[in-house]
Amino acid sequence: MIRRVTAVFLCLCVAASGGLAVAGCGSDSKSKSGKSKKKKKSSKSSGAGPGVVMQNIQFNPSNLSVKVGNTVTWANNESVGHDVTADDGSFKSGAPGALKQGDSFEHAFEKTGSFAYNCTIHPNMTGTIEVTQ
């Protein structure tokens, strides 16, 4: 369903502004993929740690178990903007919906417990990180 909406949007985009829109959309998607390296961290933990993907207005997996000290990476895989906001305020990716396609957010869990979080602009988009010893 999301893909269809995107396709319709692209068609409208092309129809509205003619051939130039094709070049515009193409270069836009290139700049987006390049943007994923924007958030640099000195530690190279992003490849090794457990991860959650944002797709189809859902966190996947919505329930993730990690060990104390693990860094969880959330990556937005779709054209809809999202955010990662802990119910208890212990972590937050930033402004509502500010994680765009290709963006990611990392958080290191230093305490055991069950940490519920959500995307503030999508009330049904929720998840939980279970942190164990």
Contact residues for Cu ion, defined by CB under 5 A:
82, 119, 122, 125
Please identify, using beta-carbon distances, which residue of 52 and 119 lies nearer to Cu ion: 119
| Residue 118 identity (one-letter amino acid) | N
Please identify, using beta-carbon distances, which residue of 75 and 125 lies nearer to Cu ion: 125
Do 118 and 128 touch, CB atoms closer than 8 A?
Answer: no
3-state helix, strand, coil in the chain (%, to 5): 25, 35, 40
Closest distance between Cu ion and the C-beta of residue 80, in Å? Answer: 6
Closest distance between Cu ion and the C-beta of residue 16, in Å? Answer: 27
With a CB cutoff of 8 Å and minimum separation 6, the contacts of 16 are none
Please identify, using beta-carbon distances, which residue of 83 and 106 lies nearer to Cu ion: 83
Closest distance between Cu ion and the C-beta of residue 97, in Å? Answer: 6
Helix spans in the chain (H): 2-17, 20-35
Closest distance between Cu ion and the C-beta of residue 72, in Å? Answer: 17
